Structure formats: structure tokens, C-alpha cells
Chain A
Amino acid sequence: MSERVVWKAYYDFENEERWLNEMAANGWEMIDYSWCRYTFAEGLPKRYTYRIQLLEDAASSPKSREYLDFLEDAGMEVVATYRRWIYIRKIADGQPFDLFSDRDSRVAHHRRVAALFGVFFAAQIPLVVVSIKNVITQIQERVFFSVPLSVAHIALVGLLGGVALRQYLSVRWLEKDALVHE
């Protein structure tokens, strides 16, 4: 059985999940994850469906352990954990496989992800202001020494802020639906 390591940085877990399922559809099954490093084993195409979840506590906490046991007992496999993130897979049996099946729990999860990125984004605002000032000053003085670094910093914070915004919009969209449907 051959293995393959892929280094890739995802900031949006929904895109990450889609990618893992595309890999699985092509027979590459993720078996481990650590910071930006994915390990895949060659398996059978479309055998597994992958899901990613952000927990309330670190995956290693007793409270989270209990949940992970629950998932295993319910026929899922916890493939990897990283801080509060968990990677789960289940044999594709033709039944839909979603971790959340009602609006309230979906909203709670979107909110949790939005908060994670939102807090980071808020903390970065003063630093982004410094970066922007730096870029302006350097352009005026025609020394471009640290412009690339500052621009990269601004772009990164913008991307992560975008994730918070998208998750928050999902919450808003789902809550609007609550006016009509149970």
C-alpha cells in the first residue's frame, strides 16, 4: 500500500473537506494530519466520505474524548485531530453522512468557526493598520524593503476575516429560514 504526503494550507474547512472527498473519490484516503501536512494512503475510490468538525474544546480534552468515542461507536472513524479540529470518515454506504442534521446544530457549528476566525481577525486589526501605514510610508519614501511582507500580512488577515464573514453569513441565512420552517 503506497502512501503520499501532501503539504497544503487551507484556511476554509469547507473547501478542505471538499478536497479530502475529491482525493477519496480518486482512491487517496487521508489517514493523518498535522499542521498543513496531509498523509494519504492508496485505497479504493469512493470508499469513504470525510467530514471536518470544530469542537468546543481541544480534541484531547475529556469532554471531547467522550464525543470521539460516541462517533466511533456510531460507526465513524476519527482519522486525525488537530487542536479543536477533528477529521472523521465513514464508509460511504449510500446514506447521507452529515454531522449536523438540524438548523440549530448547524448554526452552532458555523458560529463556532466564525468566532475562531473572528477573534483572530479582531486581534490582527491593529497590526494590519501598522502594515498598511508601513506600505504607504515605504512607497512614499521609495524604499520597498518590507512591502512584500506587509502586503502578505494584510492579504492573509483579509482571507481569514473572509472565512469569519462567510461563516457568519451562513448563520444569518439559516436563521432567516427559522421564521418559516421548524
Chain B
Amino acid sequence: MSEDTRPLTETVYYVLLSLVEQRHGYGIMQYVREMTEGRVVLGAGTLYGALSTLQEKGWIQPLVGDAGERKKEYQVTAKGRSVLALEVGRLERLIRDGNAVLEGGAS
């Protein structure tokens, strides 16, 4: 089976990044907003949809919470982590290509 190396959406990318450590929904929104200095502000509807999709794909999983803790927390799975690593590699390649052309004067 070949690895899926298609680009991730910005929403998925930042949700996965935020879930390298366990977080609940609101925590994800805050973390992403702070990390991107307000550039990426996840809408609650968008985030909720992304969390469902990522769970279906097995890239993240809900954590079994303590009794009385209503807020569901999530974390990336091993699969999710490897998808993230592949994406970071792909983005590095994009930067390298971009810099090679813009700074190296390639023609």
C-alpha cells in the first residue's frame, strides 16, 4: 500500500499539530490561534467536522476521560503522527524549491 502523500488542508495540518499533545476542542482553537498569531482561527463548526473526519481516518483518537469530565480530549495516533511528518517533509521540499528559484536565480 502506497502512502497517501497528498497535501493536507491547513485546518487538518494545524489540528494534527495541536493534538501531538492531548487537548479538547476549545484548547485546539486557542492553541492554533496562538501558534499562528491569529492568522488561523478555527471555526467551531469547521473544527468539529475535522475532528469527526480525522477520527474516521484513524489519525486521531478520543481519550477516555475521567468521570465527570464532559469535555472530550483527543490526541494524534501513530498513523496521524506519520501523516504529519510526511506533510512537514513535503512542505520543506516546497520551501527548498521556492528558495532555489527565488534566491538561486535558476532559469
List chain A positions with a Cβ less than 8 A from chain B. 53, 67, 69-71, 73-76, 95-96, 98-102, 104-105, 108-109, 182
Contacts and interface: CB of A to CB of B under 8 A. Distances in A.
Given A96-B41, A101-B43, A67 B10 contact: no
B40 to A, nearest CB: 7
Contacts, number: 56
B7 A182 contact: yes
A76 B48 CA distance: 14
B41 A73 contact: no
Leading 3 A-B pairs by shortest Cβ distance: A99-B45, A101-B43, A105-B46
B50 to A, nearest CB: 8
B11 A73 contact: no
A95 B34 CA distance: 12
A92 to B, nearest CB: 14
B41 A101 contact: yes
Interface residues of B, number: 23
Contacts of A96: 41
A53 B41 contact: no
B71 A53 contact: no
B29 interface: yes
Given A75-B26, A95-B41, A100-B43, A70 B48 contact: yes
B2 interface: no
A129 B42 CA distance: 46
Contacts of A67: 48
Nearest to B49: A105
Interface string B44-72: 11111100000000000000000000111
Interface of B: 7, 9-11, 24-26, 29, 33, 38, 40-49, 70-72
A95 B33 CA distance: 10
B9 to A, nearest CB: 6
Contacts of A101: 11, 40-43, 46-47
A69 B70 contact: yes
Nearest to B27: A74
A48 to B, nearest CB: 15
A73 B71 contact: yes
Contact of A102 (B9, B33, B38, B71): B9
Contact of B26 (A73, A100, A104): A73
Contacts of B45: 53, 99-100, 105, 109
A151 to B, nearest CB: 39
B43 to A, nearest CB: 4
A182 B26 contact: no
